[in-house]
Structure 1
Amino acid sequence: MHCTSRETARVLASLGTLGLALALYANSLAGDFVFDDHSAIQVNPDVRTNTPLSSVFKNDFWGLPLSHAESHKSYRPLTVLSFRLNHHLHGLWAPGFHAVNVAAHAGVCVLFFWACLGLGASLAPSLSASLLFASHPIHTEAVANIVGRSELFAAIFFLLALISYQRAGRKDTTTPSAWIFLTVALSAVSLLCKEQGVTVLGLCLVLEAKNFLLKPEKIVPVQSKNRISWTGHLLRSSVVLSAIAALLFIRIYLIGRGTPTFVDSDNPAAFSPHWKTRFLTYSYLCALNVWLLLLPSQLCHDWSMGSIPLVESVADYRILASLSLLAVTLTSCTLLARRVISHKRVRDCGWTELSRSFHAINSQGNKNLNNNNTLTVQKLTLFPTNTKKRPSNLLEWKRWGLRSKSSVLLLVSLSWVVIPFLPASNLFFPVGFVVAERVLYLPSMGFCLLVALSINSFRTKTRKNHAAIAVSLLVLVFSAKTVSRNSEWGTSRGIVTAALKTFPGNAKLHMSMGNILAQQGDRRCEMFYRNAIRLRPNYASAWTNLGLVLVNTDRPKEAEEAYRTALALKPDHLNGNTNMGHLCRLQGRWEEARRYFTSALARRPNLPTLHYFLGVASEEIGTQRDIEE
């Protein structure tokens, strides 16, 4: 089969993107289990093959039943299945888990390149966008952190669904309905990998609008009643809207009526009683996420515990960031929309002039008429009469059409940034984080395409290489940051140390460093626990862990005070009740020990160790009573 130079260039571009993605994340293969990997993989019973396979589809991402009061309702069974397969093949060998993530990211980069081409972007901006995406440092959390696989798998099926929908809209497609239903099926699979996956259907609606705007205008004589055919666009849009409603209904049905349970430290704005504070804070967080895409210099794996203070007043200088984002977005959308609409105003030609042109050409036996007696604008070369920049010849028409096409692609790119971010925006429901870099994995695709198209728009005959140089510099800077960030993600201590440099006032980070040092037997852990308490005096978990350090260093009286403080702050604290029960057990205070173990069991009734120690305490109480009698 003959391969054209155009096809060869596309294949080489795909291979280049693939190679860059693999090279940049090669150093993440040596990484360990860090951050949420412990909860989602190491101690998650659903990952192990000795648990029933059906439990994967009954429990949430963290192994808790969806009906459990503490479940986060994150239903991602296909991602958990991939963890389970990893564990079946090589146990808890971290490099094997990391290899799947790196391969998945590389695959996403290649699919993204072909998706950009499918949108109508030329080779240069498509390649630029895919290289920027492959190297962007914001993706390190999704790739180097194993639990980020949910983002990667969702992105794979997101892009496959998008490409399938692009195929459905092509003129040479003989079975468009099959491609539409394949799109719906792939979006459902993406949803089962990560909640954001379903947003691909929203982007498909944008593509439908794009296809209509870029479709060659069909002008008909005045006598015709059906001037423009909307049937195909309406039918496809109706199917997509129905699919969105059906998938959301099924998901709500699967996770139950309950809502996720979060604490105020996860998302402080959600717990604010003032709507103005919530609105101002969420607006600022949107601007902050855009800033992270623009300048990913200060990254952090945990933005909770007051890392970002609430925006409580319009006098807060940070409101300027929100207003700037709003102004830039509205201005860009307005300018681009005006350019597209001016291109679309065929009716301004005047139906009288059109009718005369139609009859004149028809009388000459012109073959430009189609079966529906419809004449295309491109063949008549008719343009809006009230447009100041109206093309005067065929070459100008071509350039004018290309400018309109680039405007539509820029609007699609903006939509690609916004739509996948909506589930994390707090617009429809509060989420369990302030900022999470991993959720920017899908929106960053639109961002990278937007940047690539913008840079390419400045490309001229005299400045052909300027765009390539600009993209190359960005890729080099991004690549250096990505490789450096991967090394920080290699160990728990490395990622927390880096985070403390970014947010030294984050109590949870001090707590995490204390836990790491405690596991290593380093007594400096006490200092970090006390730092966490100093920054957040009502931090019950920090008081509990401090108490454990005090017990292990033969300071039982101080330990008991720490435990009692923790339980005063949170009476149902699992570790607080468990540790206090053990302290009472070691001191022979069996009645108190039983009471604390019972309280702990109320939180985790299926924990075998708690049942054991409760039985020991009950047995000792019975023995003491027998002796007394």
Structure 2
Amino acid sequence: MIAELVSSALGLVLYLNTLGADFCYDDSRAIKTNQDLLPETPWTQIFYNDFWGTLLTHSGSHKSYRPLCTLSFRINHAIGGMDPWSYHLVNVLLHAAVTGLFTNFSRILFGDGYWTLLAGLLFASHPIHTEAVAGIVGRADIGACFFFLLSLVCYIKHCWTRSYSEGTWGWILGSGLCATCSMLWKEQGVTVLAVSAVYDVFVFHRLKMHQIIPAVYKRKNLPLLLSIGLLIFWGALLLGLRFYWMGNKPPSFSNSDNPAADSDSFLTRTLTFFYLPTKNLWLLLCPDTLSFDWSMDAVPLLKTVSDWRNLHTVAFYAGLLLLAYTSLKNPSKERECNGKNVTNGKLNTNGHNCLSEMEYKSMELKSYFVSKEENGIDKLLRQKLPLPSTEHIVVLSLSLLIVPFIPATNLFFYVGFVIAERVLYIPSMGFCLLITVGTRALYIKTQKRFLKNLIFFATAALIFFYGLKTFVRNRDWQDEEMLYKSGIKVNPAKGEAYMRLSRLPEAEHWYVESLRSKTDHIPAHLTYGKLLALTGRKNEAEKYFLKAIQLDPTKGNCYMHYGQFLLEESRLIEAAEMAEKAAELDNTEFDVVFNAAHMLRQASLNEAAEKYYKRAAELRPDYPAALMNLGAILHLNGKLLEAESNYLRALQFKPDDVITQSNLRKLWNIMEKQGLRTSKA
């Protein structure tokens, strides 16, 4: 228990200075403006809306279904209102609980001793957790991790008691329920079922890759096959229900959220998506540069094979495959037990007895349990199960690192971010275990006392600097100004907090600094152009808009910003030209197409405006504003029956819209004068 208490205390202390922080970043959408938190909103509505309070089946929803996390926010709101202190306190306490639970889980792998404590301290101090703990919406990741660990521990207990206890299926039921809760905190929680399967096959049963298929045909492995079958069934059921509940449609995101997904080049998408896990691993290894926002061009796209960053990608996957191969191949004669060297299961030099691979497989697990007749309950004896060897811990660590990260890889569906540090909260457990098992293996193989001391002090230094970085990073989350300022190096275009605060001279200073650090950063040119236009330097502003277009003529967003500028300057025909270019290039982006239609209408190009209003309505057929505007342009163009149809569709989604009602009454008056039949009741 000492290891758990020490690591939990460190996790608690490092984040105490966040308690005075304000709401930041996404907190406003998830908490301040989320109607699901208000007492007048039925609490059951939480289970029909996404994380931000939008109906899950709505086309504009991000499909982030996390009802248990939203429910915790609602309880926070009921107790403390909009005081951010209580929200931060829950996050910090939850992180401390997860840290203790992870340390306890590490004991299953390393036993009692320093290595378990090392794993716990690494997790407690890692700076990558700052966003999840200091940012209130990061509670989704912490809560998911909490139930993730509970599910995994329940399944491990199921493995230990399987075939020798009637209550073993209660453990697998508990594992399934905790996995469900984990998924309802955040989507990636469901991946614990796959990690549990890895533990059962490769750690508990110690099978190698070549042994899996033959094991299927052995009758003695029936309990294993039944357990894995239950995991697969439960995972498929959860995913199926999840997809059905969100309307059987994947989410859609703007190109600024995930530029690679919007690229027309298959090569660009492939190279970039393969590179991003490498970038995420580097954040775990060396969390020197952290940011709350990695969107837009924070990570420039890899467009050619000659991009030097591809070398990082090759090195990453080669190392990963090598590590997995060496862990899954036939075991060597020399093994480890509790951190001590042993050979062929004999006593080592320190007198510790360990089981060889064959002895472990053939041993009867009955000897590790007390029968019901003796004590009336099933419990472990003082003698414990042998600890996993280094190779088995590596396999489990890799699964913890990789499997929970798979939903963020864009492999199965596009996600709404480039990099999100809080997504690494669960995978960081695998990273901490890998560091621990690697350090242990190095420490054991090193014979000289000097080198052993060097390893010890290096590890202590790593924990110290991780903790120091975490403590310093917490200060960036005190308010939005500090948060945006800290992210300038990563995403120069988001230095615009000063602009929203109307502190224009300071905003201009940081825009200039941004462009100095990234001279080819398109969003920085666009946002600085808007600032120059706002301060009256129109000629200078136009140069920056044109420069953005020159940097990448294929980005419709650049033409749209320039078009807005031209519209404000009453250069309507030029603005309309830019709008059409933007809409043609980004014809799947609702905001771009919708705004282009507006600009064309203001330029009195009604036929062209009608074309893009129709396109916008196709992209979001249940969005009342799109239908109402389409009805209005059809009304102006004399297509009265079509106009009526779209007005009526708009009112189906928003019956109390005053503008649509007024337009429809005017339309009916015209239709009646022309002798046309109306749908008026």
> Which among 81, 85, 97 is matched to residue 91 of structure 1?
81
TM-score by length of 2: 0.70
Asked if 1:451 is matched to 2:445, the reply is no
Report the CA distance shift for 1:132/1:523 in structure 2 as closer, same or farther (over 3 A): same
- For residues 565-610 of structure 1, give each alpha carbon's deviation from its aligned partner in whole angstroms, at most 9, with x where no partner exists: 99664696499969x89xx9xxxxxxxxxx99965966998999x9
Superposed, 1:259-270 pairs within 5 Å as 259-270=250-261
Question: Is 1:426 the equivalent of 2:416?
Answer: no
User: In the alignment, what sits opposite 2:500?
Assistant: 518
Contact 1:493–1:516, Cα closer than 8 Å, also in 2:
yes
Q: Distance in 2 between matches of 1:84 and 1:562?
A: 49
Residue matched to 1:33:
23
Q: 1:338 aligns with which of 318, 323, 329?
A: 329
Contact 1:101 / 1:143 at 8 angstroms: preserved in 2? Answer: yes
Shift of residue 465, structure 1, vs aligned partner:
4.5
Structure 2 residue identity aligned to 1:34: C
Q: Give 1:55-66 correspondences, 5 Å limit.
A: 55-66=45-56
* Larger RCO (alpha carbons 8 Å, 6+ apart): 1
Tell me, yes or no, if the aligned pair for 1:340 and 1:404 is still in contact at 8 Å.
no
Q: What letter is aligned with 2:478?
A: G
Residue 29 of structure 2 corresponds to residue 47 of structure 1 = no
The aligned residue for residue 234 of structure 1 is: 225
1:473 aligned residue (461, 473, 498): 461
Partner AA of 2:428 in structure 1: S
- The share of aligned pairs that are identical, in percent, is 34
C-alpha distance in structure 2 between counterparts of 1:121 and 1:442, whole Å: 22
Q: Is the 8 A contact 2:292 2:421 kept in 1?
A: yes
| Cα shift at 1:394 | 4.3
CA distance in 2, matches of 1:605, 1:137: 50
Taking the aligned partners of 1:120 and 1:25, their CA distance within structure 2 comes to 27
Provide the C-alpha distance between the structure 1 equivalents of 2:126 and 2:144, rounded to a whole number of angstroms: 18
Which segment is superposed worse, 397-406 or 80-89? 397-406
Match of residue 179, structure 1, among 155, 162, 171: 171
Secondary structure of 1:232's match?
helix
Separation in 2 of the partners of 1:277 and 1:72? 24
The 3-state SS of whatever aligns with 1:283 is helix
1:308 partner amino acid: V
Q: How many angstroms does 1:516 deviate by?
A: 4.6
Q: Does the CA contact (< 8 Å) of 1:121 and 1:409 recur in 2?
A: no
**C-alpha distance in 2 between matches for 1:485 and 1:318:** 27
> In structure 2, do the counterparts of structure 1 residues 393 and 340 end up closer, same or farther at CA, with 3 Å as the change threshold?
closer
2:300 counterpart (300, 304, 309): 309
Task: Give the aligned partner of residue 140 of structure 2.
Answer: 150
State the SS of the aligned residue for 2:489. Answer: helix
Rounded to whole Å, the distance in 2 between the matches of 1:38 and 1:601 is: 29
**Superposition pairs for residues 49-128 of structure 1, below 5 Å?**
49-128=39-118
Moved more, 46-55 or 192-201: 46-55
Deviations 1:516-562 (A, max 9, x none): 53344646658773357747555479949987xx9xxxx96469899
Q: Deviations over 1:74-117 (max 9, x none)?
A: 11111111111111112211111111111111111011011111
Distance in 2 of aligned mates of 1:147 and 1:620: 46
Per-residue CA deviation, residues 165-200 of structure 1 (Å, 9 max, x unaligned), is 111122475511000011000000110110010000
Aligned 1:489-568 pairs, distance under 5 A:
489-504=477-492, 507=493, 509-510=494-495, 513=496, 516-520=498-502, 522=504, 529-531=527-529, 534=545, 536=548, 538-539=556-557, 543=561, 557=569
* Number of corresponding residues: 537
CA contact (8 A) 1:31 1:491 kept: yes
How far the C-alpha of 1:124 sits from its partner, in A, is 2.0
Q: Does residue 290 in structure 1 map to residue 281 in structure 2?
A: yes
How far apart are 1:123 and its partner, in Å? 3.0
1:250 aligns with 2:264: no
Inter-CA distance 426–572: structure 2 relative to 1 (3 Å threshold): closer
Q: Does 2:196 match 1:204?
A: yes
**Distance in 1, Cα, partners of 2:204 & 2:17:** 45
Distance in 1 (CA, whole Å) between partners of 2:247 and 2:173 is: 27
Q: Distance in 2 between matches of 1:606 and 1:321?
A: 53
How far residue 265 of structure 1 moved from its aligned partner, in angstroms, is 2.0
| Amino acid in the other structure paired with 2:135 | N
* Alpha-carbon offset, residue 328 of structure 1: 1.1
Query: What is aligned with 1:442?
Result: 426
Aligned with 1:458: secondary structure? Answer: helix
Task: Report the CA distance shift for 1:575/1:267 in structure 2 as closer, same or farther (over 3 A).
Answer: closer
1:418-462: per-residue Cα shift (whole Å, max 9, x none)? 111111111111111111111111110000011011112222484
C-alpha contact (below 8 Å) 2:50/2:63 kept by paired residues:
yes
The offset of 1:136, in angstroms, is 0.7
Cα deviation for residue 302 of structure 1 reads 1.4
Identify the residue that residue 487 of structure 1 maps to in structure 2: 475
Hey, what's the Cα distance between the residues in 2 that align with 1:541 and 1:120? Answer: 58
Distance 1:278 1:531 in 2: 29
Residues of 1 paired with 2:399 and 2:348: CA distance? Answer: 31
CA distance, structure 2, for counterparts of residue 427 and residue 169 of structure 1: 31
Give the CA deviation at 1:563. 8.6
The code of the aligned residue for 2:57 comes to S
**1:328 is the counterpart of 2:319:** yes
Q: SS of 2:282's equivalent?
A: helix
The whole-number CA distance in structure 1 between the counterparts of 2:473 and 2:563 is 29
Please, which runs of 5 or more residues in structure 1 have no aligned partner?
1-10, 216-225, 345-388, 585-594, 622-629
C-alpha change, 1:294 and 1:572, in structure 2 (3 Å) is closer
- Checking the alignment, whether the CA contact within 8 Å between 2:295 and 2:491 is kept in structure 1 is no
TM-score, normalised via structure 1 length? 0.75
User: Aligned partners of 1:36 and 1:101: how far apart in 2?
Assistant: 15
Aligned counterparts of 1:135 and 1:491: Cα–Cα separation in 2 = 22
Farther off after superposition, 65-74 or 611-620: 611-620
CA contact (8 A) 1:301 1:499 kept: yes
Q: Distance in 2 between matches of 1:30 and 1:612?
A: 43
Letter in 1 for 2:354: K
**C-alpha separation in 1, matches of 2:195 and 2:117:** 21
